[in-house]
């Protein structure tokens, strides 16, 4: 069922309450999600994006109940990833000649996924426009690397809606569609988790893109992303948050992340937490056992942190695979302007702390020289290393 967003602009997507993982198993979903597609019914009928592949038949059936598919004058493919293009193949079998407006890179990604079908592509660039009748225009804005090279946003004049695709989205199912109807706490958390885990590597580009959008001087009444709540109440709040988050964001927080074999490294993690509170009572301290914590939630905590401490015992002349796997993910996300320290127990060879320091440097962290390296089970005198470690981490 189509649902009005504003005037002749409708939502026609899929609210995905059942979704638990995204990007394979790489992104955890805790509160459902949605794939937001939009239908504009002016003199021209325009479809913006579709839904994920598993929902393609339901999507096309729903669309057919709302409109004659042959009345669709054009399709805007803001992004080729299959959570938005998944119904395109099924749809194009029914209306094969329909023009598809997208970036040059989206032609590559769509043909790469669905094959060369001879679709009627119209390649657009930033600033290109399309008249849709009743005095309204669509304006296209390339959003290269936000988060794929093929991404773009589409703006409709007079209604002043920015269809931002993945940018400004959240993996959050909001049946009522709009941000003012959503649970604010969950929505803001999911928006930050989305940024930390998907957009943070492109933060520098995002800062430039936000300026470019602002410089276009387009009034924005609604930001309609392709996942989660549509920002109709104070829509610029999410743009302002993105500007903050993209600028090496941090709060007065230190996050301690560790895994442990026989609880020795865990004891050091807890001692570090106590010492941080002793030295800096206002600093928020959070401690997570990696193997018992969602890795994406942990990245949200890292994004909020000014420093992290990472711990692992030495095993196999290296560190636990849970920690090395997580550190590889940490490196991908390219956090900036954060300190880090390493800790861990050892019994035979003792490489975990220097290895952790190397991994953390490689991930772009400013790593302190001090490490808390403890021989076998931590004893009272071993904790004497902790105050200097924390002092350096907080400095």
Is 171 a residue that touches ligand FEO (CB under 6 A)? no
Q: Is 175 a catalytic residue?
A: no
Which one-letter DSSP state was computed for residue 196? I
How far apart, in whole angstroms, are the C-alpha atoms of residue 1 and residue 6? 15
Q: How far is the CB of 4 from ligand FEO (least distance, A)?
A: 23
As measured in angstroms, the least distance from the Cβ of 35 to ligand FEO is: 7
The reply to whether 79 sits near ligand FEO by the rule CB under 6 A is yes
Mark whether 294 is an active-site residue: no
Q: Is 226 in the site for ligand FEO (CB under 6 A)?
A: yes
Task: Pick the closer one to ligand FEO by CB: 67 or 205.
Answer: 205
Among 49, 81, 150, 301, binds ligand FEO (CB under 6 A): 81
- Residue 201: alpha-carbon gap to chain centroid: 10
Count of residues of this chain found to bind ligand FEO when the rule CB under 6 A is applied: 9
Q: Is 73 helix (H, G, I), strand (E, B) or coil?
A: strand
Q: If we measure between CA atoms, which residue out of 292, 330, 294 comes closest to residue 25?
A: 294
81 is annotated as an active-site residue: yes
Active site residue 242: no
Q: Say whether 215 is catalytic.
A: no
Catalytic option among 55, 147, 171, 355: 147
**Per the residue annotation, which of 55, 171, 227, 355 is the catalytic one?**
227
- Residue 265: CB minimum distance to ligand FEO, A: 37
Q: Stretches 78-86, 124-132, 267-275, 340-348: which one binds ligand FEO (CB under 6 A)?
A: 78-86
Q: In what order do the strands lie in the sheet with 3-6?
A: 3-6, 9-11, 38-41, 45-48, 72-76, 99-102, 120-123
Quick check: 193 binds ligand FEO (CB under 6 A)? no
**Nearest distance from residue 238's CB to ligand FEO, in Å?**
16
Residue 59 φ/ψ region, left for φ over 0, alpha for ψ in the -120 to 50 degree band, beta for the rest: alpha
d(CA 267, CA 353): 15
Which one among 147, 295, 306, 338 touches ligand FEO, defined by CB under 6 A?
147
- Report the distance separating Cα 36 and Cα 58, nearest Å: 14
Task: Please identify, among the stretches 80-88, 130-138, 344-352, 362-370, the one whose residues bind ligand FEO according to the rule CB under 6 A.
Answer: 80-88
Strands (E), 267-365: 284-289, 307-311, 339-346
Q: Taking every pair of C-alpha atoms in the chain, what is the biggest distance, in angstroms? A: 78
What DSSP character marks residue 240?
H
CB of 136 to ligand FEO, least distance (A): 26
Least distance to ligand FEO from the beta carbon of 165, Å?
Answer: 7
84 binds ligand FEO (CB under 6 A): yes
Decide if 53 contacts 71 (C-beta within 8 A): no
Under the phi-then-psi rule, with left for phi > 0, alpha for psi from -120 to 50, and beta for the rest, what region is 375?
Answer: beta
Could you say which residues in the range 150-169 bind ligand FEO, by CB under 6 A? 166
49 binds ligand FEO (CB under 6 A): no
Cα separation, 83 vs 22, whole angstroms: 9
The side-by-side arrangement of strands in the sheet containing 152-156 is 129-133, 136-142, 152-156, 161-165, 222-225
Of 19 and 342, which CB lies nearer to ligand FEO in the complex structure?
Answer: 19
227 catalytically annotated:
yes
Q: Pick the closer one to ligand FEO by CB: 79 or 306.
A: 79
Say if CB 82 and CB 104 are below 8 A apart: no
Whether 79 is a known active-site residue: answer: yes
Residue found by looking up tokens 């993209």 in the block:
246
Catalytic positions, please? 23, 79, 81, 83, 147, 166, 194, 227
Using CB under 6 A as the criterion, which residues of the chain lie in contact with ligand FEO when the complex forms?
79, 81, 83-84, 147-148, 166, 226-227
């Amino acid at each position: 069922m189509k649902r009005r967003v504003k005037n002749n602009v409708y939502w026609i997507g899929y609210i995905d309450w059942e979704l638990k993982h995204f990007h394979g198993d790489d992104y955890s979903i805790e509160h459902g999600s949605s794939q937001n597609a939009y239908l504009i019914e002016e003199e021209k009928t325009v479809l913006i994006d579709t839904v994920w592949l598993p929902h393609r038949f339901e999507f096309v059936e729903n669309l057919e109940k709302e409109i004659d598919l042959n009345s669709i004058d054009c399709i805007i493919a803001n992004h080729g990833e299959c959570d938005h293009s998944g119904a395109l193949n099924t749809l194009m079998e029914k209306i094969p000649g329909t023009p598809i407006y997208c970036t040059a890179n989206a032609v590559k990604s769509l043909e790469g996924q669905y094959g060369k079908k001879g679709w009627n592509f119209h390649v657009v660039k930033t600033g290109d426009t399309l008249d849709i009748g009743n005095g309204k225009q669509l304006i296209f804005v390339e959003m290269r690397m936000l988060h794929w090279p093929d991404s773009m946003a589409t703006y409709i004049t007079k209604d002043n809606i920015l269809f931002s695709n993945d940018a400004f989205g959240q993996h959050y199912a909001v049946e009522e569609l709009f941000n003012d109807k959503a649970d604010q706490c969950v929505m803001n958390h999911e928006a930050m988790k989305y940024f930390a885990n998907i957009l943070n590597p492109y933060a520098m580009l995002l800062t430039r893109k936000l300026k470019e959008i602002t410089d276009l001087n387009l009034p924005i009444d609604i930001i309609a992303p392709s996942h989660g709540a549509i920002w109709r109440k104070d829509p610029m709040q999410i743009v302002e948050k993105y500007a903050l988050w993209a600028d090496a964001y941090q709060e007065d927080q230190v996050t301690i992340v560790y895994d442990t074999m026989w609880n020795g490294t865990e004891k050091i993690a807890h001692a570090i937490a106590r010492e941080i509170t002793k030295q800096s009572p206002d600093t928020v301290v959070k401690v997570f056992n990696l193997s018992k914590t969602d890795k994406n939630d942990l990245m949200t905590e890292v994004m909020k942190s000014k420093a992290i401490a990472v711990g692992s015992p030495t095993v196999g002349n290296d560190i636990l695979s849970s920690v090395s796997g997580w550190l590889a993910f940490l490196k991908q996300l390219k956090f900036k302007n954060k300190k880090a320290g390493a800790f861990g127990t050892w019994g035979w060879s003792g490489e975990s702390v220097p290895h952790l320091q190397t991994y953390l440097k490689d991930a772009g962290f400013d790593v302190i020289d001090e490490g808390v390296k403890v021989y076998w089970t931590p004893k009272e005198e071993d904790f004497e290393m902790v105050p200097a470690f924390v002092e350096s981490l907080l400095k």
